[in-house]
Structure 1
Amino acid sequence: MSEQGVRERAGGEPVPCRIVVCRDCCCGSPKVPGVDHAAQTARLRAAAPVRISDCLDVCDQANVVVVQPSAAGRAAGARPVWLGLVNDADATEDIVTWVRAGGPGVAPRPDILDLYAFTPPRRRTDP
């Protein structure tokens, strides 16, 4: 295995950022009017692999997009970045641009995305 073996796919390509898009009870629904949810998902998918998630339990932040770092970003210590209220095409484009530049841990987060970033609440696990 090469020195970068952990950071590469089988074909030698770098492992990209991954994006999780919430699409359940609030996000991706008519409860957030004026958003073409399908177009938003397709645009994000053009930049990185996208996984559609059920409710992420932060409905007050709908539409929620989580940018997970690439292998290189994780190696640099990056953690997933949660973005909320991603309800316009400009915000989606800002995410696409950042992900294509390398995303968390590789490329600095554009200042404009600070407006959308939030820390998700810890999930409670009852015994």
Structure 2
Amino acid sequence: MHTTSAAGGDRCTVTVCRGCCCGSTEVHPDVNHAALVTDLGDRLGSRASLRVTGCLWVCGAANVIVVSPGADARRSGARPVWFARILRPKENAAIATWVHAGGPGRAPLPKLLEQHLTLPFRRRRKQVRLTSPDA
């Protein structure tokens, strides 16, 4: 895991889900999940904190990665960006390039990552409640 001191207090945090479905060879048997985490960490280097966590509750979208803005960007209104189905090194490269450029609130999202955007669990849950006939 790569964790180094923040430069200027505005370093992104990249969270990699490795809960029940993310990182599972049962869900994605053709993916070397450990190698993907190592690859992402190497690509991020000291430009971001890399954190591996348990389930983020977006199981149907495995593998999930969340890029959270640094403190300065968050104070300016930037919010975490959630990505689904991150299964290849080229997606890691796009995330790392974006983070190196500033990440959420600081740099435009690479086109490749647009197709991987997903909603956080709490917002998905809220949408289900709002659209459910029993709500």
11, 31, 34: which is aligned to 1:35? Answer: 31
Aligned counterpart, 2:8 = 14
Equivalent residue runs for 1:1-127 within 5 Å:
13-15=7-9, 16-30=11-25, 31-46=27-42, 47=44, 48-122=48-122
Distance 2:72 2:85 in 1: 27
Distance 1:101 1:12 in 2: 15
Distance 2:55 2:81 in 1: 17
Stretches of structure 2 lacking an aligned partner (at least 5 in a row): 126-135
Distance 2:106 2:72 in 1: 7
Stretches of structure 1 lacking an aligned partner (at least 5 in a row): 1-10
Q: Identity, % of aligned pairs?
A: 46
- Secondary structure of the residue that 1:60 maps to in structure 2? helix
Distance 2:52 2:101 in 1: 22
- Secondary structure of the residue that 1:105 maps to in structure 2? coil
Distance 1:12 1:22 in 2: 22
**Letter matched to residue 8 of structure 2:** P
**Residues paired across the two proteins, number:** 114
Say which is worse superposed, 21-30 or 114-123, in terms of deviation: 114-123
TM-score, normalising length from structure 2?
Answer: 0.77
CA positional deviation for 1:24: 1.6
**Letter matched to residue 22 of structure 1:** C
**Letter matched to residue 37 of structure 1:** H
CA positional deviation for 1:76: 2.2
TM-score, normalising length from structure 1?
Answer: 0.81
Between structures 1 and 2, the one with greater helix share: 2
CA positional deviation for 1:12: 7.8
